[in-house]
Structure 1
Amino acid sequence: MTDLLTVKNLTKSFDESGPVVDGLDFTVREDEIFALLGPSGCGKTTCLRLIAGFERADRGSVEIAGKLLESPDHHIAPQNRGIGFVFQDYALFPHLSALENVAFGLTDIPKHKRNVYAEEVLCRTGMGDYKDRSPNELSGGQQQRVALARAIAPKPKFVLLDEPFSNLDAMLRDSMRKEVRSILKKAGMSALLVTHDQEEALSFADRIAVMNDGKIEQIGTPEEVYYQPKTKFVAQFLGRTNLFHADANGGSEINTGLGRMRLNCNACGKVLCSIRPEHLTLEKATNEHPDEIGKVVSREFKGHDITYHVELNDRKYLVHTDNRVIFEPDDSVVIKPLESAVILEDEN
């Protein structure tokens, strides 16, 4: 795949407290949906605004299809970057109909053809029957689809999505994610999504960059960043996990409080490890290894699965099992790993 967006050493500060965006390097490929995922205040929206041209970079550069858009000495105005933007609040013109909102930016199309083309784009987003309605006559999901139609109508090379699902209720969020992803894929457009929602990034994006304190800690597919986190922050931010220290002797196995456990790679010395709760299971305790017997402290029944809180050797572990593994509080159990533990780069 060819890289469409290239971000190099992108840096931005607003005051003397330090950079909000600190030396970001990443690429987005053609026909790829890429997500910047991180907590509030980590710099992801500032990065989006730098790419869009709403902010000026202190250092670094932004290129699309080899064309320089942003650097300390070069700045192309937002309207000339060939980028579509879907805002968090949709930012539709309240006095214009859905059709007029979409047609507004089609300045390269002859005036007498704009409404025809705008209606075609609205139909692609499932909003053709609502073309004459004003934004205040539309639901949140419908407004979002109109905003997306407006963003893709000029056929931009790239679309930026600034937390576009955050104003929707949980059920609508899920369905709209699927719809918007399908629309972008069918249109063959690359997109950059900014979100603080882990589930949203994992289900929507082809690749994810996990941000923390202005920096990118890891880039990879949803499966890579979830199952093979590189740092403690990534392991904890992407979902619940069990962290523990252990002494490795150069091989791919270690002795832990849970017994002998495989590692995802060879290691030597003191290491910090992570293992997801669903990569553990519970078995009824026997007297064979008394030092590995734990006690169920509590459990959370969720229908399709159960989360157990287990105390073992003065430590507490989380274990997710399917609903056929049944234990009660105070039961004696043995925690068994189903997958390898992952070694993390940091120990803080």
Structure 2
Amino acid sequence: MKNLLTVTNLTKAFDETGPVVDGINFEVREDEIFALLGPSGCGKTTSLRLIAGFERADRGSVAIEGKVLESPEDHMAPQERGIGFVFQDYALFPHLSVIENVAFGLTDIPKHKRNVYAEEVLCRTGMGDYQQRSPNELSGGQQQRVALARAIAPKPKLVLLDEPFSNLDALLRETTRKEVRSILKKAGMSALLVTHDQEEALSFADRIAVMNEGKIEQIGTPEEVYYHPKTKFVAQFLGRTNLFHADATGGSEVSTSLGLMSLNCNACGKVLCSIRPEHLTLEEPAGQPPEEVGTVVAREFKGHDITYHVELNDEKYLVHTDNRIIFEPGDAVVIKPLESAVILEGGN
């Protein structure tokens, strides 16, 4: 698939404390939804602003279809980049109607045709019946769709989404997320989402770049970054996980306090491993040595599944099971791996 956006060694510092964005590299492909995921202060919003043209880069470059938009020597104005932007607060003009908001940026279309085209885009986003309303007469989800319609109406090559669902309640956030993804896919548009919400990135994006302290630690599909994290930060940021050290002897298995466990690759020496709670299960002891028998110290019933906290050899493990596997605090249990453990870079 052809690359649309190419970000190369992009770097930005605002003072002498060091770069906020520190030499990041990634590409967004045609018809792809890409997410920059990370905690507050990791540099993801600054990266988005550099791509949009709201900030100047110290080093590196931003290019679309090979044309450089941003570098220390080049700076194309935001309105000339062919990029749509959906702000966190939607930034709709309160004094304009819905259709006037969408038509506002259609400067390349003859004036007498702008409302006709704006109406067409509003219908595609499910807002055709609301075109004469003002923004303050709309719900948060409706404002979100109007903001998206305004962003995609000029047919940009790329749409940037800055935490666009964070102001919505949990149920509306989920439904709006699905609607926006469907709209972007039907329009055949590429999008770059910035978010700190792991579930949002995993469910919305085709690929994810996980950021930490100005750097990208891993890029991959949602399945790749979740099931095969490269670093301790990625493993912990993308969900609950169990971390443990082990001494590998060169093969793809390692002896642990949980017994013999397979690894995702061959390894030698002291390694740091991660295994997700849902990749473990619990069984009643059946003749295992005492050092392999743990104790349930707590459980969290969640309806469709249960999270157990198990203590084993002074270590605590999290285990997710379905609701048919029932143990009580104080029960003796054996933890059984269902999948391989993942070796993390860094080792400590």
Q: TM-score scaled by structure 2?
A: 1.00
1:88 aligns to 2:88 (yes or no): yes
Superposed CA offset, 1:268-326 (max 9, x none) = 00000000000000000133322100000010000000000000000000000000000
Q: Indicate the residue corresponding to 1:12 in structure 2.
A: 12
Q: Give the structure 1 partner of residue 221 of structure 2.
A: 221
Q: Deviations over 1:25-77 (max 9, x none)?
A: 00000000000000000000000000000000000000001111000000000
Match for residue 344 of structure 2?
Answer: 344
Structure 1 CA distance for aligned equivalents of residues 319 and 43 of structure 2: 33
Q: Indicate the residue corresponding to 2:152 in structure 1.
A: 152
> 2: CA distance between counterparts of 1:68 and 1:231?
32
Letter paired with 2:152: I
1:236 is matched with 236
Amino acid at match of 1:35: A
Matched, 1:170 2:152: no
Match of 1:124 in 2: 124
Do the aligned residues in 1 keep the contact of 2:184 with 2:190 (CA within 8 Å)? Answer: yes
Distance of 1:88 and 1:143 partners within structure 2: 11
Q: Match for residue 274 of structure 2? A: 274
SS in 1 for 2:115: helix
**Aligned residue type for 1:158:** L
Distance in 1 of aligned mates of 2:273 and 2:85: 40
Gap runs ≥5 in structure 1: none
Judge which range, 4-13 or 286-295, deviates more: 286-295
Q: CA deviation at 1:265?
A: 0.1
Q: CA deviation at 1:248?
A: 0.2
Q: Deviations over 1:239-268 (max 9, x none)?
A: 000000000000000000111000000000
AA aligned to 1:157 is: K
SS in 2 for 1:160: strand
What residue number does 2:161 align with? 161
TM-score by length of 1: 1.00
Distance 1:133 1:14 in 2: 41
Please list the CA deviations of residues 145-204 of structure 1 after superposition, one character each: whole Å capped at 9, or x if unmatched. 000000000000000000000000000000011000000000000000000000000000
Cα distance in 2, alignment partners of residues 35 and 229 from structure 1: 16
1:1-348 map, 5 Å: 1-348=1-348
Answer yes or no: is the 8 Å Cα contact 2:226–2:238 preserved in 1: yes
CA distance in 1, matches of 2:173, 2:109: 33
What's the RMSD between the two structures over aligned residues?
Answer: 0.5
CA-CA distance at 1:347 after TM superposition: 2.8
Gaps of 5+ in 2: none
| Total equivalences in the alignment | 348
**Matched-pair contact (CA < 8 Å) for 2:270–2:347:** no
What is the one-letter code of the residue matched to 1:212? N
- Residue 28 of structure 2 aligns with an amino acid whose one-letter code is V
User: Does the 8 Å CA contact 2:19/2:214 hold for their aligned counterparts?
Assistant: yes
**Hey, what's the Cα distance between the residues in 1 that align with 2:184 and 2:312?**
48
Determine the C-alpha separation between the residues in 2 that align with 1:141 and 1:164: 10
C-alpha distance in 2, partners of 1:20/1:328?
47
Measure, in 2, the Cα distance between the counterparts of 1:33 and 1:346: 30
Output the amino acid matched with 1:304: H
Q: Which runs of 4+ in 1 moved over 6 A?
A: none
Q: Distance in 2 between matches of 1:178 and 1:65?
A: 28
CA distance in 2, matches of 1:122, 1:289: 66
